[in-house]
Structure 1
Amino acid sequence: MLIPHPLLGPRDAQEFTYLGDARLLDRPDPAAADAETAFCDYVFLRDNPAGVHSELWFHEQGDRSWLVVTRDTVTHEILGTKLARGVALAQNRCGK
């Protein structure tokens, strides 16, 4: 499988490490009243959908960037990739 890296072009999937659901970028607020329950869900509960899904991939054997890869888990077709930093900043999760 080739992953179209936004900066480096098509790269073999073997250069990457798969982390999981891209919703991991949406970390719970540790100061919230329900922080313990929210973090328990965040750490232990994962969806495993069939179909289009956004995932985190780490370019371990390359530029060491994190990508959000939108992929169809049934066909393995990659529908798009973005740098995870840009996605997190757009969500206001990484500060400035």
Structure 2
Amino acid sequence: MKRLTCPMNGPRDITEFQYLGPLRSTRAEDPSAVTRHLFYAGNPIGPLVEWWRHRPSNTVFLAERHTGTDRIIRTWLPDGSETQNA
């Protein structure tokens, strides 16, 4: 069973979580940047920061996950409160 550590609730079964996508940023003033942001996403192999939500508590947080091994490296709240995953 795969587990993910919620920064607020601790380690939980992965079925309690919703994947919300990779952390990406763009400038709204540049229409071509917004188009690339919405329709073209990279698919890198390696560490990637992603948005996740713990469904029971509605806690939204960030997780760093290695896309090649699917290993969760760390999780943290958007304010910077961090937890380590083993």
Which band: TM-score by shorter chain?
0.7 to 0.9
2:51 paired with 1:56: yes
Which position in structure 1 is the counterpart of 2:37? 42
Secondary structure at 1:7 match in 2: coil
Secondary structure at 2:11 match in 1: strand
Match of 1:79 among 47, 61, 73: 73
Structure 2 stretches of 5 or more lacking a match? 81-86
In the aligned structure 2, how far is the partner of 1:72 from the partner of 1:15? Answer: 20
In the aligned structure 2, how far is the partner of 1:56 from the partner of 1:75? Answer: 18
Give the paired residue count: 79
Which position in structure 2 is the counterpart of 1:14? 15
Please identify runs of 4+ aligned residues in structure 1 that moved more than 6 A.
Answer: none
The structure with the largest strand share of the pair is: 2
Structure 1 length-normalised TM? 0.72
The structure with the largest helix share of the pair is: 1
Structure 1 stretches of 5 or more lacking a match? 88-96
Percent of aligned pairs sharing the same letter: 32
Task: Quote the RMSD (CA, aligned, Å).
Answer: 1.5
Secondary structure at 1:57 match in 2: strand
